Structure 1
């Protein structure tokens, strides 16, 4: 779609004062998908030269905001890390073809803040932290679960840039389980639930996204019983936080989230004695 209100496109390597009507341009798959009447100037990040995927000395993984979904998918296919299959499954959760995969970016998916964003699901489940940079050069880190505040809402200040997402080293060793539900075969995610088991201490976490307006991650020092898991979800997610749109009613999303969370609990604790 043509953005007929945009008057200029600037290279992000040239530091210029931020002004009303500016917007960061990564892959542009969202920006060019619908009218953006408030935008007057695009600041293009494509020539910044950021490495898409960087392993840190401590074993953590930095995913640049400009990393494409295709690049992340290839990492998931080739990496020996136990959590690597989760990268693949979350990339496949996109309602998009390969052309979009080669343009859409991890940072763009996070900054849209949409409940069905699978990069939100992936990074929230793996304890990801976003690195945010202000126009003045200051930086701050936030867990993804705190960065996304609601449907389309995020803790992103005027002119602030999402530079990267860091996945800690220990999270790459998680055993994972994945469940996704939609009202129709190739539809947008209406419920996406991820479970992670930490081999270091036996803890278990369940992350609920798509069904809720923001990501919810439930951590248990020991695997919970079915009742404990259900109670934790129902206490934390208020009725208003079950998402409501054409892709699913809140009551159905809650029902499916609870059902899939229980399936994951059983899968990740199958080697333990079952509790009622």
Structure 2
């Protein structure tokens, strides 16, 4: 939609240009959310795309993803590094049920900075233990785990004038095996829960619960836990919430069930197909959810 209060769009070509951010100004990347509703408090936008950040950089340390990287670019990253975790990149992108037009403009950074519980990029990079690089308004740099970047429903660690520069996924996560589950109350509805398991090469296991909680919850174990231990850990989470996309008790129940599926899938030998009913994405009607 048109933002009728905007009087200027400032292209940021260097970090110094970000000084234009402040009261009445907001960063612009893809704009898929920014232009979706009125922003009457804004009078200017600072265009981050003019900075020309490389979208995806592969190195010996892992994968750096620029905040301005689009969903389409991330989903199309070639599987040429032999990373067992590679499939989860595309899987989490599909949790944003947008058209190809949305995928071509929606950005990783914009999705994380929106800090919605169902933000698929928050789910993805939390589940891979990624670290966010924040450019602070005072010129300093700060690295924050993505799981801690989001502090609540629509809130995060950014202060006025700050910018999310990139997220760094460590090699130790990319070389681990992943299992992904998403559930929603309607075929095209927002996620009710997104659960991802990561079994690292050293045998340690991490389960990330998101979508069902106001912020990502990471459950860590030094080895693959037993079913009872894992279920108890999931049920002990306290940040479940209720909204039109699911009740808190339903979210807790389905997250526990999906976590156990993930455990069973990762307990099987690599390459063994999971049972056919272990679908990665599923839809449950509201009647069934009751």
Range class of TM-score, shorter chain: over 0.9
- Cα displacement string for residues 81-118 of structure 1 (whole angstroms, at most 9, x for unaligned residues): 11110001111111201010000000000000011111
- Cα displacement string for residues 136-180 of structure 1 (whole angstroms, at most 9, x for unaligned residues): 321000001110101111011111000000000111111010111
Report the counterpart of residue 43 of structure 1 in structure 2.
46
Report the counterpart of residue 22 of structure 1 in structure 2.
25
Tell me if structure 1 keeps the 8 A contact 2:8–2:44: yes
Q: Does 1:233 align with 2:231?
A: no
Matched ranges for 1:76-115 at <5 A: 79-115=81-117
Structure 1 counterpart SS, 2:219: strand
User: TM-score, structure 2 length as denominator?
Assistant: 0.89
Give the superposition deviation at 1:222.
1.3
Q: Whole-Å Cα distance in 2 between the matches of residues 4 and 33 of structure 1?
A: 13
Give the superposition deviation at 1:185.
1.7
Give the superposition deviation at 1:126.
0.4
Structure 1 counterpart SS, 2:77: helix
Q: Whole-Å Cα distance in 2 between the matches of residues 265 and 10 of structure 1?
A: 48
Give the superposition deviation at 1:18.
3.3
Q: Whole-Å Cα distance in 2 between the matches of residues 179 and 242 of structure 1?
A: 17
Tell me if structure 2 keeps the 8 A contact 1:76–1:86: no
Report the counterpart of residue 215 of structure 2 in structure 1.
214
Q: Whole-Å Cα distance in 2 between the matches of residues 31 and 2 of structure 1?
A: 10
Q: Whole-Å Cα distance in 2 between the matches of residues 250 and 189 of structure 1?
A: 13
Q: Does 1:264 align with 2:243?
A: no
Matched ranges for 1:123-162 at <5 A: 123-162=125-164
Report the counterpart of residue 280 of structure 2 in structure 1.
none
Give the superposition deviation at 1:271.
4.6
Match of 2:76 among 74, 77, 80: 74
Q: Whole-Å Cα distance in 2 between the matches of residues 219 and 271 of structure 1?
A: 21
Q: Whole-Å Cα distance in 2 between the matches of residues 222 and 271 of structure 1?
A: 15
Match of 1:193 among 178, 192, 195: 195
Q: Whole-Å Cα distance in 2 between the matches of residues 173 and 146 of structure 1?
A: 23
Aligned-residue CA RMSD (Å): 1.5
Shift of the 194–32 alpha-carbon distance from structure 1 to 2, 3 Å rule, reads same
Give the superposition deviation at 1:19.
2.7
Q: Whole-Å Cα distance in 2 between the matches of residues 198 and 114 of structure 1?
A: 27
Report the counterpart of residue 62 of structure 1 in structure 2.
64
Paired residues in the alignment total 267
Structure 1 counterpart SS, 2:172: helix
